[in-house]
Amino acid sequence: MSESDGAGAEKRRHPRTPLNVLVQFRFDSFDDFLAEYSVNVSPGGIFIRTDTPREEGAVIYLQFALKDGSKLIEGMGRVVRVNPPGDPKRPAGMGIEFTNFDEESMTLIEEICAQRSGTKH
């Protein structure tokens, strides 16, 4: 179990795949994008490391690119878990459940997870 798995690991539908990529995101109340790094991703969501996580239930627009910059993955998500700053056992941040991603973006996310876990879909 990795440091970001915490108590919710047994409730997950998808295994987490480590992924350190810069994620840009925006909430309804902000005009500008914020940017932080992800910790892991699964076909169901992503964990973003941040010292200023939003509250559970907040809707978020996400976008991130593959390392080579060839494909942009973007869509909507919802904050489903918050790790507040200051807990030495878990990184500060927020778990985002993917709620509205197009088929191409979901296929890319599934491919990233399959490649990094050594399995093919």
Q: Which residue range(s) make up the domain with 90?
A: 13-117
**What value does the mean pLDDT of the chain take?**
85
- Express each pLDDT in 83-100 by its tens digit: 999 999 999 999 999 999
Is it the case that residue 18 has pLDDT exceeding 60?
yes
For the chain, how far is it from start to end, CA to CA, in angstroms? 23
Structure-block tokens of residue 120: 């093919």
Query: Residue 4 falls within a domain, yes or no?
Result: no
Is it the case that residue 117 has pLDDT exceeding 90?
no
Query: Residue 8 falls within a domain, yes or no?
Result: no
**What is the Cα 109 distance to its own chain's centre?**
10
Query: Residue 43 falls within a domain, yes or no?
Result: yes
What is the rounded distance in angstroms from the CA atom of residue 82 to the CA atom of residue 120?
A: 31
The number of domains in the chain is 1
Indicate which CATH number applies to the domain containing 34.
2.40.10.220
Query: Residue 3 falls within a domain, yes or no?
Result: no
Query: Residue 7 falls within a domain, yes or no?
Result: no
Query: The pTM is what?
Result: 0.82
